[in-house]
Amino acid sequence: MSVSHSGIPTQDEINTVTPPPAILNRKPVVMVECFQHIPCDPCAASCPFGAILPFADINDLPKIDYERCTGCGLCIASCPGLAIFVIDMTFSQDSALLKLPYEMLPLPRPGEIVKALDREGHEVAEVKVEKILKTKHKTYVVSIIVPKELALVIRNIKVKENHNG
């Protein structure tokens, strides 16, 4: 499988890594948007529950055992390609919680309203930052509250250049 020349995955590719609806509607779960066969496997080593299955070959694409996944998000910051997200469609009736990798400055603050971006970088909504997790990696994990209908669309955020206060 290969990502289009733009580097943006096609909908068919996204469909191959989207967790089944029955899982998404039951619990928080990881979604790994890794489409390149390259020597990389820190995601599997970082999962304490064995939900990202061990690789038979270092060039394999990640495979997920959704029943083992708790949605903890420990794998998010371990991915050098920033390709791992956690989706919690059970967060509330109308909103999902999305945990995503973030390596930009300035860092958002909990409670801050930020612009949510799709895979192409287009602004698709304004969302609230729920939590920021500093990890042992250089990557932070930012949890945002998003409309459920955009949980499978939003993949990044844009923070205002200057924070007030």
**How far is 8 from 79, CA to CA, in rounded Å?**
17
- Write down the domain spans for the chain: 11-158
Q: Which amino acid is at 150?
A: L
Give mean pLDDT, residues 89-105: 97
Residue 2 pLDDT exceeds 70 = no
Give mean pLDDT, residues 81-104: 97
pLDDT digits (tens, 9 = 90+) for 130-165: 999 999 988 999 999 999 999 999 999 999 876 554
Pairing of strands 123-133, 140-147: antiparallel
What was the pLDDT predicted at 64?
Answer: 97
Q: Tell which residue, 122, 25, 55, 72, has the closest CA to residue 64.
A: 55
Strand partners, 64: 52
Contacts of 23 (CB under 8 A, 6+ apart): 29, 66
Better-predicted residue by pLDDT, 3 or 8:
8
pLDDT digits (tens, 9 = 90+) for 104-123: 999 999 999 999 999 999 99
- Tell me the helix, strand and coil percentages in the chain, rounded to 5: 15, 30, 60
Q: Which amino acid is at 131?
A: K
**How far is 68 from 9, CA to CA, in rounded Å?**
26
